[in-house]
Amino acid sequence: MALSSAQQATVEVFSGTLWEAEMIRTLLMDAQIAHFLKNSTLNDFMYDPIGAEGVKVMVLENEVERAKEIIDNYLQNLNM
């Protein structure tokens, strides 16, 4: 029996700066993967929001594999 999205746990798939989390958020949105940012509100008010750390990208547990593929691909392309 499959769990509904309301019954599934959320899993952290990325943690970093607000800027990085927003970039990953855009990629997940484009892939239609449900997600949310955790700890982003506090970082919005930091003196240097680009350098503020601790923002987590959370997804439903049934989307973890797809989300991690997208994130890994993005991070590999950054390091090229």
| 10-78 fold | Alpha-Beta Plaits (3.30.70)
Output the pTM of the full model: 0.76
Rounded alpha-carbon distances, angstroms, from residue 7 to 13, 26, 31, 52: 19, 25, 22, 32
Q: What does the block give as tokens for 13?
A: 């798939």
On the question of pLDDT at 57 being above 90, the answer is yes
Greater confidence (72 vs 18) lies with: 72
pLDDT in tens, 6-50: 678 999 999 988 888 999 999 999 999 999 998 865 544 555 555
CB-based contacts of 45, cutoff 8 Å, min separation 6: none
> Residue 36 has which token pair?
């949310």
Q: Is the pLDDT of residue 1 over 80?
A: no
